[in-house]
Amino acid sequence: MDDIRQNPSSGDEVALRRIQRLSLHLYTPSEPHSGGLSLLPCRAKRNLSPSVESLSEYMRGPHREIQARIFEFFQSRPDLQTPVEISMAEHRQLCMRQMTALVREAGIRPFRYLVENPSAYFAIAEAVGGVDISLGIKMGVQFSLWGGSVINLGTKKHKEKYFDGIDNLDYPGCFAMTELHHGSNVQALQTTAIFDPITDEFVINTPNDGAIKWWIGNAAVHGKFASVFARLVLPLQGKGGKSADMGIHAFIVPIRDLETHSLLPGVEIHDCGHKVGLNGVDNGALRFSHVRVSRDNLLNRFGDVSRDGKYTSSLPTVNKRFAATLGELVGGRVGLAYSSVGVLKIAVTIAVRYSLLRQQFGPPRKPEVSVLDYQSQQHRLMPMLASTYAFHFATQYLVDKYSEMKKTNDDQVIGDVHALSAGLKSYVTSYTARSISTCRESCGGHGYAAVNRFGILRNDHDIFQTFEGDNTVLLQQVAGDLLKRYQEKFKGGTLTMTWNYLRESMSSYLSQPNPVTARWEGEDHLRDPKFQLDAFRHRTSRLLQSVAARLQKHSKTLGSFGAWNRCLNHLLTLAESHIESVVLAKFIEAVQNCPDANTREVLKLVCDLYALDRIWKDIGTYRNVDYVAPNKAKAIHKLTDYLSFQVRGVARELVDAFDLPDLVIRAPIGMASEAYEQYTQHVGF
């Protein structure tokens, strides 16, 4: 190739001259020089030798056994496995059969776990999501949303009447909250439930097309009931004898006949049709025309209506009742954050294994090298692998906290779970969504074969960013919570656990950065968890302080809505920064708590990559306040590349430790062995 690069050649053929320009196509840079491939950096270090068993043992949740039962069941039932190409109608039926078989044949009763052992419920949800994400969501609709609304918003009478039917799938149901015109702004829903004191019934009605219930899972085909969110209207109870709008309440509305499955009078359902993904879930649009339900069908835990049409509640205002109602739904977010990490593990495993297998280009007259040996591929995949570990520990913590909350009802824990579930759901699902695309790209053409999973994972997971709370809205809740804590701090109030650092060290974070440490650039310093955590928290604290000041300033002229909007990007950055601080703190704890020294060392490496990659990605912020000097910024960059290279050395073990069975991976190119053979066989050779 040398001749092309160095000698302009004297030939006068057009083609000859052209070659000069075309040499680009041979991007391998010039002549051989060294004796062989030297990808290793200069620093000599002993190689890590991780034990997959030990890593896997430490990563494994407490409910591995029930997950294994699920995998074994589906492994034994090829008729229940979702094929790569399947029509929407078939997929919906298959998904229902999968869920029914799980409950009635495998004897796994998710609803009971949901109520008695939520941590096990989330483990079940993750496992069935590994079988088919549609199945995970279909199950979530039935048990967490429809079942959860009955259990958490209803009272004893509802539990007695509906528990068994929900549990054994005799009562498939829907969760009818979202309307065509309103998703995030639940308080603005327009469906009405007007009490009729003469018949002792509520009349459920869709007043206009914008109020059609939209995207309702289980509605298009299978649902027999729906918990419908509607404005409760009580005639004569308002000022001057007018009707009183008591705000959003949930009602159990039968939508199909239990025997014939035909639509009940006044209920109109259309099929929302083909979706980007999750086509195993049958979403429908519902219009109610003066549908009458018994007064008992009001889910009346937080507010009730008496026989004479009077309202009673332990909660004094519409807003408090609304908050209590929505607050009961937080489990869905916990489950999504947790399951999203499960999806990320699948994608990363496939991408890393294929990148180890795939060879392309190499030094002159040497064998080709694995594409994971390219710095660019390490740059794409190794911080992602590190993040997967980070999110694993963070969401495990969230699930534990949620279980604790359900047991103790402790205020501190409630506050923690609500903000943390909003933040982690948002942060993790956005990250996973981006990463699945990156994984596809990093597997090139073969990543584009449907059988290799990235398409269906991306399409199915995509909506995790939107449902159960749009990510942009949820991050604002986190920011709002931080601002509240910030104000409480100055009032001397208590802070929930995850936020503690704000009190402990806010003042030190907000002082001018130390010009001496800003110049420390040794590896020991950069890999010190104290430096890393300080950097994350420093950023969060500064963002918090500055946005609080900006909000105060702008609200004088723009009002609070206008001021919030003027600072919106700032607020979102603050929320993300805070969530990253929490994730890092939990990762550092997990490293420190790991009992096996060898495994701990591997996890420490992964944790360092997570921390430094994040700092480098936002280096502009750190540089702007001189938290790091220019040379320190360079050192961080260099170390990040180096840590990616180090993690590449143990990448196979790190993905193997996720311990995902072939049933879940499925992609021929993602198999632990004989990947190419499985791929050619799949195609028919």
Residues tagged active-site: 468
Q: Which residues contact 226 (CB under 8 A, 6 or more apart)?
A: 146, 173, 174, 175, 176, 213, 216, 219, 252, 253, 255, 286
Q: Is 248 helix (H, G, I), strand (E, B) or coil?
A: strand
Site for a copy of itself in 221-260 (CB under 8 A): none
Minimum distance, C-beta of residue 52 to a copy of itself, in the bound complex (Å):
28
Q: Please report, as residue ranges, which positions from 325 to 364 form the binding site for a copy of itself (by CB under 8 A).
A: 326-327, 359-364
Instruction: Answer yes or no whether residue 507 interacts with a copy of itself by CB under 8 A.
Output: no
Task: Tell me the C-alpha distance between 551 and 566, whole Å.
Answer: 8
Q: Is 155 annotated as a binding residue?
A: no
For the CB of residue 379, give the shortest distance to a copy of itself in the complex, in Å: 5
To a copy of itself, the closest distance from the beta carbon of 376 in angstroms equals 5
Among 258, 450, 497, 549, binds a copy of itself (CB under 8 A): 450
| CB of 485 closer than 8 Å to CB of 502 | yes
Q: Which stretch binds a copy of itself (CB under 8 A): 129-137, 212-220, 501-509, 513-521?
A: 212-220
CA distances (Å), 152 to each of 12, 158, 555, 677, in order?
83, 10, 38, 51
For residue 142, what is the DSSP state?
I
- Measured CA to CA, the distance from residue 488 to residue 491 in angstroms comes to 5
Q: Which of residues 15-34 bind a copy of itself (CB under 8 A)?
A: 15-34
**365 or 530: whose CB is closer to a copy of itself?**
365
**Considering CB under 8 A, how many residues would be counted as binding a copy of itself?**
159
Q: How far is the CB of 1 from a copy of itself (least distance, A)?
A: 5
d(CA 165, CA 298): 18
Whichever of 11 and 522 has its CB closer to a copy of itself, that residue is 11
CB of residue 540 vs a copy of itself: minimum separation in angstroms? Answer: 17
Segment 375-378 long-range contacts (CB within 8 Å, at least 24 positions apart): 375/641, 375/644, 375/645, 377/442, 378/641, 378/644, 378/645, 378/647, 378/648
Q: Which is nearer to a copy of itself, 52 or 369 (CB)?
A: 369
Establish if 261 lies at the interface with a copy of itself (CB under 8 A). no
Rounded distance between C-alpha atoms, residue 445 and residue 437, angstroms: 13
Judged by beta carbon, residue 490 or residue 685, the one nearer a copy of itself is 685
- Measured at the CA of 522, the angle between CA 501 and CA 608, to 5 degrees, comes to 50
Give the shortest CB-557-to-a copy of itself separation in angstroms.
7
Cα 324–398–581 angle (5° rounding)?
Answer: 110
Burial class, 173, CB count within 10 angstroms (exposed 0-12 / middle 13-18 / buried 19+): buried
Return the structure tokens found at 491: 């009032």
State how far the Cα of 117 lies from the Cα of 441, in Å rounded to an integer.
39
Contact 328, 153 (CB under 8 A): yes
> Which of 558, 601, 652, 663 lies at the binding interface for a copy of itself (CB under 8 A)?
558
CB atoms within 10 A of CB 263: 13
In angstroms, give the least distance from the CB of 511 to a copy of itself. Answer: 17
Closer by beta carbon to a copy of itself, 525 or else 550: 550
User: Who contacts 361 (Cβ-Cβ below 8 Å, separation ≥6)?
Assistant: 28, 368, 369
Q: What are the structure tokens assigned to 359, written together?
A: 């060879």
Identity of the residue, 481 or 653, whose beta carbon is nearer to a copy of itself in the bound complex:
481
Give the C-alpha separation, 123 to 64, whole Å: 8
Site for a copy of itself in 170-199 (CB under 8 A): 178, 180-185, 187-188
The alpha carbon torsion through 412, 414, 420, 426 (nearest 10 deg) reads -160
Q: Annotated binding residue at 429?
A: no
Beta carbons of 223 and 255 less than 8 angstroms apart: yes
CB of 233 to a copy of itself, least distance (A): 20
Among 64, 243, 676, 678, binds a copy of itself (CB under 8 A): 676
Stretch that binds a copy of itself, among 57-65, 509-517, 592-600, 676-684 (CB under 8 A): 676-684
Q: Using the rule CB under 8 A, is 455 a contact of a copy of itself? A: yes
Please state whether beta strands 225-234 and 192-196 pair in parallel, antiparallel, or not at all (unpaired): parallel
Phi, psi of 323 (to 5 degrees): -65, -40
Write out the binding residues for a copy of itself, residues 599-658 only, by CB under 8 A: 618-620, 623-625, 630, 633-634, 641
Q: Binding to a copy of itself by residue 155, rule CB under 8 A?
A: no
Does residue 214 interact with a copy of itself by CB under 8 A? yes
As measured in angstroms, the least distance from the Cβ of 18 to a copy of itself is 6
**H/E element holding 456?**
helix 454-462
Q: Which residues lie below 8 Å from residue 381, measured CB to CB, with a gap of 6+?
A: 348, 351, 352, 355, 372, 438, 439, 442, 651
Residue 104 beta carbon to a copy of itself: minimum distance, rounded to whole angstroms: 30
- Residue 441 vs 589, nearer CB to a copy of itself: 441
Query: Using CA atoms, how far apart are residues 635 and 638, in angstroms rounded to an integer?
Result: 5
Residue 78: count of CB within 10 angstroms of its CB: 7
Does residue 552 bind a copy of itself (CB under 8 A)? no
Applying CB under 8 A, which part among 43-51, 527-535, 568-576, 584-592 lies near a copy of itself? Answer: 568-576
Closest listed residue to residue 135, CA positions, set 460, 403, 491: 460
**Vertex 481: Cα angle to 384 and 410 (nearest 5):** 95
Asked whether position 560 contacts a copy of itself by CB under 8 A, the answer is: yes
Interaction of residue 90 with a copy of itself, rule CB under 8 A = no
Verify binding: residue 559, a copy of itself, rule CB under 8 A.
Answer: yes
Helices (H), 594-650: 597-617, 619-624, 630-649
d(CA 381, CA 373): 11
Choices 114-122, 317-325, 346-354, 502-510; region in contact with a copy of itself by CB under 8 A: 317-325
If DSSP codes are grouped into helix, strand and coil, which group holds residue 416? helix
Scanning 102-110, 392-400, 524-532, 563-571 for contacts with a copy of itself by CB under 8 A, the matching segment is 563-571
Residues 387-446 that bind a copy of itself (CB under 8 A): 409, 411, 414-415, 418-419, 422, 433-434, 437, 440-441, 444-445
Query: Which residues between 473 and 492 bind a copy of itself (CB under 8 A)?
Result: 473, 476-478, 480-481, 484
Cβ nearer to a copy of itself, comparing 546 with 598: 546
- Of 236 and 558, which has the nearer Cβ to a copy of itself? 558
CA distance 605 to 527: 9
Contact status: 156 vs a copy of itself (CB under 8 A): no
Residue 215 lies near a copy of itself (rule: CB under 8 A): yes
**What residues from 266 to 285 belong to the interface with a copy of itself (CB under 8 A)?**
268, 270-277, 285
- Binding piece for a copy of itself, criterion CB under 8 A, among 70-78, 125-133, 248-256, 677-685: 677-685
Please give the structure tokens belonging to residue 64. 């591995």
Query: Is 10 a binder of a copy of itself (CB under 8 A)?
Result: no
Q: Which residues are annotated as a binding site for FAD?
A: 178, 217
Annotation: binding site: 178, 217
